[in-house]
Structures are given as C-alpha cells and as structure tokens.
Structure 1
Amino acid sequence: MSLHYSVLASGSTGNALYIESEQSRLLVDAGLTGKAMLALFDQIHRSPEGIDGLFVTHEHSDHIKGVGILARKYNIPLYANQKTWDAMEAKIGKIDPALKFLWEVGEVKQFGDIEVESFNVSHDAADPMFFQFAHEGKRLAHITDTGYVSDRMKGTIRGADAYIFEANHDIGMLQMGHYPWSVKRRILGDYGHVSNEDAAVAMSEVLDERTKRIHMAHLSKDNNMKELARMSVSQTLASRDVDLSKIHLLDTDPVIPTPLLKL
C-alpha cells in the first residue's frame, strides 16, 4: 500500500494532518475541538481509533485544541519535545503517562513502514518542530508556522514528492488590515509566519523533478485568500523558472479536508 494523506484542516482556526500506510496511521496536530476533529475524519471515511501516534508541532491552540480529548478517548500515543510538553501540558488536560512520549528536534523515528524525521522551524513557541514522512522512496514534507525558511530547513526538506507549505499572508493585506501594529510586526518577523511571496521563493529552492504537488497551507483568514495565494505563489515560482506544468498547486481549508491523496 502506498502512503496516503489528507490535510484535514489548515488555517488560523485549526490545523491537522492525517497520514496512513499499510502498517501505520498517524496524525500531526489536532487543532480543532474533539467534535470538529471527528467530523473531519468522517469526511474522509476514517476514524481516530487505532492511530499509532499523534505528533504535536507546538503548543499554540490552533494545533492542540483537540489533542487531549482525542488521546484520552482513543488511547492515542502523544509525541512532543520536552519544551512543548512543558508548555502544553496544562492546556490539554490529564494524559495517561503510558501515552506520553518524547521526540526531540532532529530525531528520526520509525512507525511501521513510515520513517518520520522532525526538524525545527522559527516560530514564537517553546520549541516548534515539524515533520517529513518517507515511505518506499517517496517523501512528504510538512512545514508551516515559521517566520522564515532557513538553509537548514531547506536542506532537510529538499526534493520531496509533495509539500504542505505555509503561505500565510499577503503582505499588502496584512499591512493595510485591522490588526494592531504589534501583531503585524509579530507575523512579519522571523518568529511569525511566511508570506505568499517568501514561501514561493523558498519553494523554488527546494523543489526538484520529483516534486509533483504543493499544498498551500495555514492561510490567514484575515490577510489572505486562496485565489490570491495561488496567484502570488504561481507568479513567483514562474519568475524563478519553475516549470509549473509538472506541479499541482493545491488549496487547503480550515474546515474541509483534502481527499485522501496517494503520495
């Protein structure tokens, strides 16, 4: 069986990614309520029951809102680094010690036939990290919630077959929008979120001939639009000589999961 995945939810209101293979079922983040998470699973005809691991990227509420309830109800093992555990433990409620696992930045773990590597990002959280998944020679890289994409991050995720890549905001919309300047400065800073254009520049430096799919993720509900993100990313990639005829640029949504896609 090939690796299949669905971006269950992506955006400022909640984030979750589901991955499955013949041997393993995995979840990255659960940033919506338990009820909303179950509705997302229903839409892809799956259940949280039997998930082998729930990986937490960082402690912000749009990534952990449903973590505690899913772990308790379905006995799902939780994985996070020590600083993230320290920062989120009071927010997710009591967790059975048998379900608590440490996973530090840069570690590679094996879940059945899926190899998962963690890597750090630059965000205003305790110790944020994201993941890439390898299965039968193919890779899925997941990177959002970062103020910039460093050379180290690029080196880790270069040449993946598919990307879930942050394109958080349009700079003009953010600058002209209603957010207080302190919030705008946080988003635009090195520990905030990448813009459409900056995301596309980073994409152009990691894509290769194997890359077939890019999901534009974690769009701001106030400072971006799907059509605008797609246009900005497409134009920037084209200006950097990326052949878009061979790559699918795909939307994600805060409440509508993508279909289960084959890597």
Structure 2
Amino acid sequence: MRLCSIASGSSGNCIYIGSDSTHILVDVGISGKRTEAGLKELELSMRDIDGIFITHEHTDHIAGLGVLSRKYEVPIYATRGTIEAIQKTSSVGKIPEDLFHTVFPDEKLMIKDICCNPMRISHDAADPVAYRFAHGRKKAAIVTDLGNYNDYTVESLKGMDALLLEANHDINMLQVGPYPYYLKQRILGDKGHLSNERAGQLLTRLIHDDLQAVLLGHLSKENNMPELAYEAVRVEMTMADEGIAVRDLPMQVARRNEVTPVIHIA
C-alpha cells in the first residue's frame, strides 16, 4: 500500500492512497488542474482513480470535486450529512446524484482490494469523518480537522502502519496572530483543529514498534511552520518517554504546494 500527500494545509487538501490495482483520493480541496498534476507525478491520472473519499464539506476539502467528478465520473464516498452539505454548496456545481455513495462511521466497505473504514471525528462540519484503509494486513489512516480526541479516537487508530495526522497550529502563533477573536476560539475549540502539541500527545498514545511512517498534515499557513510542527511533535513524544525510539520514527511534514515522497507501507 502507498500513501502520498498531493496537497495538505488550511488552503487545500488532497491525499492519495492505493495499491497496485486500486487508487483512491481522500478529499480534493485543490483545483482539478493541480490534482491532475499531482497524480501525474505519481505516474497516475484521474482515470485511474477508483473513488474519492470526502471527509467533510469545507472548501479546502472539496474545491475541485465538482469539476473532477463531472469530467471523470468518479464515485464519491461521504457520510449522508456531508453529501447533503456538498449538494448545497453552489461553488461545487451540480454533481450527478448517482456518483454519490453513502458511508457510515465504523462500517467497512471494499474498493477492489482496499478496505475503507470511516471513523467519527470532532469538527464543525455537518457529519465529518476520518478514514482508515487496509490492504491485506497493512493499515493506514488519514486524520485531519480534529478539534479534539478521546478514547474512541485512540482505539480507532491503534495498530496503524502509517498515519497522516493533523498538526494544524502553534497555539502561541495563533493567539498573537491576526485572526479575529471568534476565529481563534473556533480553531482552539473542541470542534476546531489539532495543535502541534495535541498532535504530539495523540501520537504518543499511538506509537508502536511497527509504525512505519508519520506524515504531519493540514498545517495552517498563518499559524504554523513545518519546522515548528515537526519539533513540537517530537518534543511531546520525547517527554512522554514511552520506551520507543522516537528518533528512529520516520516522520515528515506534508507541504501545501508540494507532492510528498511516496510512503511505501511494506
């Protein structure tokens, strides 16, 4: 199984996950042109894509959905609440009804040889989810837009071989930054976004000897920096001292305008 970020950040998200025979996108919050260019770097095209899984209806996750789904007739998978919200989003345009397929948290579905399993998350959207994927015994999860986490989150993400996890903001940068007060409160709230520190604390509960790769994603352009996110998460894990060699954990930061190196989950 392979995992790659085509784009990740507060301005647009598009993640690829696939096997030799199955190719999936999670969110298309960038333009169709950028999505296709990113796939080309992976030696793929939209005609190879078997499905688009949408986490929620915010623009940075669906901006390119209308154009791409209409052009290529790719099946769209999302919760009922998210589908209804997408259909009410005028900027997306009209999407044929038969392209939509409803998913339910903790109910698995197969897309060819990949098992997809949505999980509930806390975010200020209609009916948001994150996604877990399995190919044989290999498992990966894509978890962003997570205002908070609880025991359900931890249990849902245990045993992953690879993980894309939100590290959205540095709390101090957000607090002293230019955002209006209401927006700061929204981001910091239980239905907002995960800070660098909270991402590190969650990762501490998920790390295990067989975790092959971590990709930090959905960084805020205004309230974070890749180097800061990376170091803050490392510090949290080091402080926890769980007896696992944190220094040996392959971890990288997904950039907003760059395709990351492909993570091969062996």
The counterpart of 2:4, out of the listed 3, 6, 10, is 6
Equivalent residue runs for 1:66-81 within 5 Å: 66-81=64-79
Q: Which residue of 2 aligns with 1:232?
A: 232
With 231-240 and 244-253 compared, the bigger mean Cα shift is at 244-253
- Once the 2 structures are TM-superposed, how far is the Cα of residue 188 of structure 1 from its aligned partner? 0.4
- Once the 2 structures are TM-superposed, how far is the Cα of residue 46 of structure 1 from its aligned partner? 1.6
Q: Which residue of 2 aligns with 1:59?
A: 57
The answer to whether the Cα contact below 8 Å between 2:57 and 2:125 also exists between their aligned partners in 1 is yes
Q: Which residue of 2 aligns with 1:165?
A: 165
The counterpart of 1:82, out of the listed 77, 80, 83, is 80
Aligned counterparts of 1:171 and 1:230: Cα–Cα separation in 2: 14
Identity of aligned residues (%): 39
Equivalent residue runs for 1:36-185 within 5 Å: 36-91=34-89, 92-185=92-185
Alignment gaps of 5+ in structure 1 = none
Deviations along 1:190-237, whole A, 9 cap, x unmatched?
Answer: 000011011100110111111121111100000000111111111110
Q: Which runs of 4+ in 1 moved over 4 A?
A: none
The answer to whether the Cα contact below 8 Å between 2:213 and 2:263 also exists between their aligned partners in 1 is no
Q: Which residue of 1 aligns with 2:257?
A: 255
Question: What letter is aligned with 2:52?
Answer: L
The answer to whether the Cα contact below 8 Å between 1:50 and 1:76 also exists between their aligned partners in 2 is no
The answer to whether the Cα contact below 8 Å between 1:26 and 1:52 also exists between their aligned partners in 2 is yes
- Once the 2 structures are TM-superposed, how far is the Cα of residue 110 of structure 1 from its aligned partner? 0.9
Aligned counterparts of 1:202 and 1:251: Cα–Cα separation in 2: 16
Aligned counterparts of 1:93 and 1:178: Cα–Cα separation in 2: 32
- Once the 2 structures are TM-superposed, how far is the Cα of residue 36 of structure 1 from its aligned partner? 1.8
Q: Which residue of 1 aligns with 2:27?
A: 29
Deviations along 1:92-113, whole A, 9 cap, x unmatched?
Answer: 2222233121112221111121
- Once the 2 structures are TM-superposed, how far is the Cα of residue 68 of structure 1 from its aligned partner? 1.1
For these two proteins, the number of residue pairs brought into alignment is 261
The answer to whether the Cα contact below 8 Å between 1:19 and 1:25 also exists between their aligned partners in 2 is yes
- Once the 2 structures are TM-superposed, how far is the Cα of residue 261 of structure 1 from its aligned partner? 2.1
